[in-house]
Amino acid sequence: MGNGFHASIYRPIAISSLSGTVRNLHNETLEYVNPEKPTHDHSSIYYKRFYVSSFNLNESAIKATFSAPMKIQDGDEVTVVGYFKGELFQVVAYANQTQTTRHHENWLVLIVAAVIFFCVALGIYHNEGVIAGELIPKLLIFGFAAVSLYMAYRAWLIKQAIRLLPS
């Protein structure tokens, strides 16, 4: 049964905060290229970048993935808010007391996107193909609804994490 931090389909993720000194900081950038990118065009609109920071905070292994690089350095005093995924603590939001900065992803954008995806699912639901019992529209409804729920859930996680950050 474990320590209560493991996520399952039946139990929500336990959000918690950890504070301490950053040690063994390692930063990397993950870059994804849109498959529709023309070979001759290198503009940034075709690239999606994620910034991954791995470090130790006291005795815990920490991993943070954001759309902007974390503003931390070795020796900084930080508070991270997130959840344990196995032995690794996944960061949702953080506050750097040394540099007096805070960061989290934009939960409001996720809510707006979730509403849009849900509206698309509703639009497909009223399609004649669904009424006729066709499989593809039903799969599309499921897909758009699932993405909508995931986005709403991530927004909720971010909102909960913000509440746990120090002022």
Q: Which residue has the higher pLDDT, 133 or 117?
A: 117
Instruction: Say if residues 75 and 22 touch (Cβ distance below 8 Å).
Output: yes
Number of helices (H) and strands (E) in the chain: give both, helices first.
Answer: 3, 6
Instruction: Say if residues 38 and 85 touch (Cβ distance below 8 Å).
Output: no
Q: Against a cut of 0.85, is the pTM above it?
A: no
* Lowest mean per-residue pLDDT among 1-10, 50-59, 91-100: 1-10
Q: Within its chain, how far is the Cα of 145 from the centroid?
A: 18
Q: Which residues pair with 90 in a beta bridge?
A: 63, 83
Element (H, E) at 16: strand 16-33
Q: Which residue, chain included where needed, has tokens 């993950």? A: 30
Average predicted confidence (pLDDT) for the chain: 86
* Rounded mean pLDDT, 53-73: 93
